Structure 1
Amino acid sequence: MRTSHYPFSAIVGCDAEPLDDLGLALVLASVSPEIGGVLVRGQKGTAKSTAVRALAPLLPPVEVYRGDRFSVDPADPAQESPDGPFPPGTAVERRPVRLVELPVGATEDRVLGSLHLEQALTHGRVAYEPGLLARGHRGLLYVDEVNLLHDHLVDLLLDAAATGRVTVERDGFSVEHAARFLLIGTMNPEEGELRPQLLDRFGLTVEVAAPSDPAARVEVVRRRMAYDADAAAFSERYDRAEKALAERIAAARETARRARLSDAALLKIAQVCAAFEVDGLRADIVTARTALAHAAWEGRTSVSLADIRRAALLALPHRRRRNPFDAPGLDEELLDRVLGDEEPPPDGPEPPGGSEGPTGSDDPASPADDGGDGGDDAPEDADGAPSRPPEAGAGEPDRSSVPPRGPENAREAEAPRDRGDAERDGAGPEPTAGTTVGAGAPYRPRTFTARGTGTGADGRRSRALGSRGRRIGAAPPGGGSGGPLHLVETVRAAASRPHGGGRIGLLPGDLRVAVREGQESNLVLFCVDASGSMAARKRMGEVKTAILSLLLDAYRRRDKVGLVTFRGTAADLVLPPTRSVDTAAARLDALPAGGRTPLAEGLLEAARVLRRERLRDPRQRPLLVLVTDGRATGGRGAVGRSLQAADHVAGLGVATVVVDGESGPLRLGLAAALAARMGAEHLPVDEVSADALGNAVRERAA
């Protein structure tokens, strides 16, 4: 049985000097919580959760009023607790910093707080039960798999980060309390991206990866096994290192209060942020705070170029991404050119904003103003794994010689294409087998929604009844009603039953839950003929561009998109249903074309994917987009097998669009016949353009 947490200083990479990026980012955010938190990106088994959970015991304890559930600071008269006011002489106690974990499946009531049911039902009093945001005040709020957090919980986090307070107005009570916390999130990018609004609220971001050095991997396994065998004895071996680290963090906090940024250092930071074309000024503020924290961590009160460089590498990578297809990281050569080699004067005049400087309480860009630039389970998170990030900016072009990478030209920068083919009216020559054709620049498609009201997973597209959104009524539990308990309607149902006077008794049949109308996500599965007959550059390029555009829209609206291709003798699921547009864009660019047309195999593979996704989530409504000319050249009996496969797909009852890739003056009409057999909508090849394909999907789903 475990009796102690895994020591921070025992994590390979956090036990070295200097610290690796993961350890340094967590330490700097602890030294200066105004930085705004840390986002850790990496695959499972890279010690993300272990490092976060090991951080809390290293932080200095906080002083609170005894019995105060909201942990206000007794030394700050501006903070008021709903449990107060506290008269002079109220006992003050010191307690460890809390690590509060926010589950991705938490309800809104659990996060914000709710009516205290016991007090309401037994004593008839309206009392407030604090939520996770109240418990996390002045502590660490940790969200594992933060990219999977439901949108309604993301909205709550954004509100709290922007204001530093939580306001609850519901069920007959009104409560407002402080909620300032160090937000730490971990995520696996393969499982989907993070909403841009929430991504920007993280002060620092770190990319972690498992080591390739066998000796380092052996050391990770050795330490993990020793900890599992005797956690107390293992932790005791690192007591001295843990105490030294805790003392250094406390000393750095004191040094940070005296640290100052010269005008020259501020100018360098502004030049760096401008060179990387980050949006807004939050990047400048966070970089300045991080540079100050790094200087304090090194025991200095003045900021050097090395401090600014380390700060930029942690604070800017996630802010320079103009769209989801841009790779994370910074061009370190460009960063070094902007910084130069001339150190800023250490004792320049104080920057504007009051005597407290960038880290003082009078800073006009405090968390209340700038948004508070405020895990993996043990079986799959190899505790103690090193978190050495890959080289940032590897392979990136020199940004001083390329145009900004906005949505309109992001793909040009990453997937060069034959511009002569794009300008020709004809389809162009067919590439040889295995040739790859690049996609054009993605466009923003118009919104499409599924007909009616569904019950799918939370998203931002089609109407649905679920656990979030506006409350439109109440109903007994079950029957698709997944909202929280509706206390008023529950009491009303109990009161409507005949009773002999006295107290109203509650029965199971009286329970009512809130019925909420929000939005759901959808699954769009593309089944693309990548054979020789469909490999003309213009047609394949337009198909890829349309898919790329829908991927970008799916990222914004939390949809899933999958891609099945068939060519040669088989079909492949080149993109399993996902919300990770980075992975999707890479797979789409690498999609080859040429060879025979195994249409039956493509349809059967699409059917298999749809059946599997239906088992995973029966509520998610899919749309199949089949791009083909209808030819089946996969061997003897290919035509008969393709018709049988079409009947099988039609039997699934999935809405389908067949995009006819046949071209030329002589057309056989095979795709049109295939669409009729499947009960699908048919779209002629003359309309296969990026806009036409996007419109076909929208019209069919509407």
Structure 2
Amino acid sequence: MSTPYPFSALVGQEELRLALLLNAVSPAIGGVLVRGEKGTAKSTAVRALTTLLPRVAVIPGCRFSCDPAAPDPGCPDGPHDPAVEGTARPARMVELPVGASEDRLVGALDIERALAEGVKAFEPGLLAAAHRGILYVDEVNLLHDHLVDLLLDAAAMGASYVEREGVSVRHAARFLLVGTMNPEEGELRPQLLDRFGLTVEVAASRETDERVEVVRRRLAYDADPAGFAAKWAAQEADVRRRVLAAQSLLPEVRLGDSALRQIAATCAAFEVDGMRADIVMARTATALAAWAGRTVVLAEDVRQAALLALPHRRRRNPFDAPGLDEDKLDETLERERGEGGDDPDPDPDGGPEGPQDPDDGGGPPRRSPGDAPEAGSGQGPAPDSGGAEPSPAAAGGAQDTQPPAAAAQPYKTRPLTVPGLGEGAAGRRSRARTAHGRTTGARRPEGALGRLHLAATIQAAAPHQRARGREGRGLVIREDDLRQAVREGREGNLVLFVVDASGSMAARQRMGAVKGAVLSLLLDAYQRRDKVGLITFRGSGAELALPPTSSVDTGAARLEKLPTGGRTPLAAGLLKAHEVLRIERLRDASRRPLLVVVTDGRATGGREPVALAARAARLLAASGTAAVVVDCESGPVRLGLAGALAQELAGLAVTLGELRADSVSALVKDVRRAA
């Protein structure tokens, strides 16, 4: 087993380390979600935390890590003999891969044995392995929604339930949940964000000295991991002792009425939904006091708890920037304190006793000029995905460019789907064969059995019972009798926007309405778990403003800065779309595309622009790309060019007004059907 990087050797990232340590002190806080760019020591910090957790006493042979002092009465490996002496082992850190199956996460039941022998043969999953340890999910935002639901439900209830065709198994699953994510790759749904106790934003330092220290420590660790860890052994032992001391002190910490009022007032002032935020803040403030060695919660503990527990709970849609107004927070706390309470005098230094410098043996360091923000790669900031803004030259000259128009208020759009039945990643847009959804039939399993179709299995086995010598009530089930359920649900698609930013679209009121429509479609794509891409065309060419990504808020940011002006190279935009979709099919052939062209249909510039655009549209139609043309033409005289483009694309044309879900005119869901 490789030597983990010492937690005390991490430099910078105070909030990240504090949030992890607070969860080690009080796992009831509910875990940590770490958001940030790649190369910022997110994974390194989580793995390093494992060495600070106390050893765990377990019952020998129990696959579910039962505590000898209080074994789980419902343990599948139980009942346990109370006379058996426990053994101690280090706390585990279990990693959940992004591509894990449901059975890998929660465990698998042997349905064949359950039917034939009447026994519950259960193979534990990762939730059982993580019991009384850490469950680490890297790129949690890329997990399928149903896996995230199962994961967070188990974290909230402290137990995992596995049910297959009436056979049920339950086991304890209490763990410290840590998820990491890069927001550029997409966001979690707000209701799932709320299930994480704390959140931390991390970023690489831009200070040269700090980055130098990152590289120096990382190179030293890579050259001699054991030797590097030995140099930090004393600091690691001190932090471990401090965690144990805080755990022991935690039951004695008093959360007074004044602190409770400050917590409630803060959650009300920031309009967070539900009561989970209040409870998490109370637990976090209590853990902060214990970490500082106090038995009374101060206002400074409440303030720090709010900074860790509230930012992600205020995010109601993907375009809301995470964060907290600290001035508003201070005003709320001061107002509640001023109304009279039992809070003692605050720390004159203006904050709870935080982690000390590792050289003093007290834990993670305070920020200083010599500290660096991470002990991972030490790489520089990631380039902004999606490419640069279109240059004036590519856009047809700076003299044609107008300042970006503000987008109109987004609205709920009517559903647009790809026709047919797909097999892409689970989502909420188009019909597809999925692992979850309504059962539409049965088939023989290909490889490992997934969801059993019980009725079809019994029907296949029933005619052979006499020949197989059946005796008693149990069925004689053989492997070739097994049938797997065929389910139909919804998939996520690749929604590629091709937006006309030429001079014919440049009227500010008109472009604002166009941006509002695209913003509305982006919001719809976020809710339906799609990937999105953005192509713009104007002047003399087309620009891939946003390569296909799950981060719809990045698409919204690109859209906001979109300049307009110049000629209308419609053919260039369509050809660029064809090239992008060709590459994406090679990367992910199962994710079906939906092309959304936002234009008034005019084509200018170059030779035979209209004919070139028609040929490019027919090329897309021949590739089987489902398409929608959002007709932005306005005014009393309409040429119907967008409708003609939709016919060439073998797609659907809708006006901006028809795009609204509350519009009077009906929108046909099949995007290949003519309007």
- Equivalent residue for 1:81, pick from 39, 63, 75: 75
Separation in 1, partners of 2:478, 2:36:
49
Separation in 1, partners of 2:281, 2:110:
42
Q: Which residue identity lines up with residue 6 of structure 2 in the other structure?
A: P
SS of match in other structure, 2:499: strand
**Residue equivalent to 1:592:** 563
- Quick one: percent identity of the two aligned structures? 60
Shift of residue 46, structure 1, vs aligned partner:
0.8
**Residue equivalent to 1:62:** 56
SS of match in other structure, 1:467: strand
Q: Does 1:571 align with 2:526?
A: no
Q: Does 1:302 align with 2:292?
A: no
Q: Deviations over 1:102-121 (max 9, x none)?
A: 11211111212112589889
Shift of residue 632, structure 1, vs aligned partner:
2.2
**Residue equivalent to 2:589:** 618
Trace 1:286-365 onto structure 2 (pairs within 5 A).
286-340=280-334, 345-346=342-343
SS of match in other structure, 2:226: helix
**Residue equivalent to 1:417:** none
- CA change 1:643–1:119 in 2 (3 A) is closer
Separation in 2, partners of 1:694, 1:277:
37
* TM-score scaled by length of structure 1: 0.80
Native 8 Å contact 1:543 1:688 kept in 2:
no
- CA change 1:191–1:285 in 2 (3 A) is same
Separation in 2, partners of 1:142, 1:522:
28
- CA change 1:534–1:290 in 2 (3 A) is same
**Residue equivalent to 1:105:** 99
**Residue equivalent to 2:493:** 522
Separation in 2, partners of 1:387, 1:273:
37
Q: Does 1:541 align with 2:526?
A: no
Shift of residue 542, structure 1, vs aligned partner:
1.8
SS of match in other structure, 2:251: helix
Q: Does 1:467 align with 2:435?
A: yes
Native 8 Å contact 2:517 2:656 kept in 1:
no
Shift of residue 453, structure 1, vs aligned partner:
2.6
Q: Which residue identity lines up with residue 81 of structure 2 in the other structure?
A: P
Separation in 2, partners of 1:259, 1:63:
26
Trace 1:191-202 onto structure 2 (pairs within 5 A).
191-202=185-196
- Equivalent residue for 2:616, pick from 645, 655, 677: 645
**Which one is further off, 641-650 or 308-317?**
641-650
Trace 1:550-699 onto structure 2 (pairs within 5 A).
550-683=521-654, 698=669
**Which one is further off, 601-610 or 674-683?**
674-683
**Residue equivalent to 1:372:** none
Separation in 1, partners of 2:543, 2:37:
24
Native 8 Å contact 1:318 1:328 kept in 2:
yes
Native 8 Å contact 1:659 1:682 kept in 2:
yes
**Residue equivalent to 1:176:** 170
- CA change 1:48–1:496 in 2 (3 A) is farther
Shift of residue 320, structure 1, vs aligned partner:
1.3
- CA change 1:332–1:66 in 2 (3 A) is same
Q: Does 1:204 align with 2:201?
A: no
- CA change 1:534–1:148 in 2 (3 A) is same
Native 8 Å contact 1:546 1:693 kept in 2:
no
Q: Deviations over 1:631-676 (max 9, x none)?
A: 2222344344333322322222212223333334444443343333
SS of match in other structure, 1:592: coil
- Equivalent residue for 1:384, pick from 376, 391, 397: 376
- Equivalent residue for 2:261, pick from 246, 258, 267: 267
SS of match in other structure, 1:575: strand
**Which one is further off, 533-542 or 684-693?**
684-693
Shift of residue 698, structure 1, vs aligned partner:
4.5
Q: Which residue identity lines up with residue 280 of structure 2 in the other structure?
A: V
Separation in 1, partners of 2:114, 2:636:
77
Q: Deviations over 1:334-374 (max 9, x none)?
A: 112222295963579xxxxxxxxxxxxxxxxxxxxxxxxxx
Native 8 Å contact 1:269 1:287 kept in 2:
yes
Native 8 Å contact 1:523 1:577 kept in 2:
yes
Q: Deviations over 1:302-329 (max 9, x none)?
A: 1122211111111110011222211001
- CA change 1:122–1:176 in 2 (3 A) is closer
SS of match in other structure, 1:464: strand
SS of match in other structure, 1:159: helix
- CA change 1:685–1:328 in 2 (3 A) is closer
Native 8 Å contact 1:457 1:520 kept in 2:
yes
Trace 1:10-21 onto structure 2 (pairs within 5 A).
10-13=9-12, 20-21=14-15
Native 8 Å contact 1:327 1:582 kept in 2:
no
Native 8 Å contact 1:565 1:572 kept in 2:
yes
Separation in 2, partners of 1:685, 1:522:
22
Q: Does 1:454 align with 2:422?
A: yes
**Residue equivalent to 2:410:** 442
Native 8 Å contact 1:625 1:697 kept in 2:
no
Native 8 Å contact 1:526 1:624 kept in 2:
yes
Shift of residue 77, structure 1, vs aligned partner:
6.6
**Residue equivalent to 1:158:** 152
SS of match in other structure, 1:280: coil
The alignment covers a number of residue pairs equal to 620
Native 8 Å contact 1:223 1:384 kept in 2:
no
5+ residue gaps, structure 2 = 346-372, 382-398, 471-475
Native 8 Å contact 1:31 1:252 kept in 2:
yes
Native 8 Å contact 2:11 2:374 kept in 1:
no
Native 8 Å contact 2:57 2:86 kept in 1:
yes
Q: Which residue identity lines up with residue 579 of structure 2 in the other structure?
A: R
**Residue equivalent to 1:7:** 6
- CA change 1:11–1:693 in 2 (3 A) is farther
Trace 1:122-271 onto structure 2 (pairs within 5 A).
126-170=120-164, 173-271=167-265
Q: Deviations over 1:522-542 (max 9, x none)?
A: 222221111111112232222
Separation in 2, partners of 1:121, 1:222:
60
**Residue equivalent to 2:352:** none
Q: Deviations over 1:494-535 (max 9, x none)?
A: 99899996999978x777544332221122222111111111
SS of match in other structure, 2:200: strand
**Which one is further off, 688-697 or 283-292?**
688-697
- CA change 1:532–1:270 in 2 (3 A) is same
SS of match in other structure, 2:11: coil
- Equivalent residue for 2:450, pick from 476, 484, 496: 484
**Residue equivalent to 1:433:** 401
Q: Deviations over 1:255-279 (max 9, x none)?
A: 1111011111111111221221111
Shift of residue 95, structure 1, vs aligned partner:
2.0
Q: Which residue identity lines up with residue 462 of structure 1 in the other structure?
A: S
Separation in 1, partners of 2:254, 2:327:
27
- CA change 1:437–1:690 in 2 (3 A) is farther
SS of match in other structure, 1:700: coil
Shift of residue 477, structure 1, vs aligned partner:
4.9
Separation in 1, partners of 2:247, 2:618:
69
Q: Which residue identity lines up with residue 426 of structure 2 in the other structure?
A: D
Shift of residue 216, structure 1, vs aligned partner:
1.3
SS of match in other structure, 1:90: coil
Q: Which residue identity lines up with residue 457 of structure 1 in the other structure?
A: A
- Equivalent residue for 1:24, pick from 18, 27, 47: 18
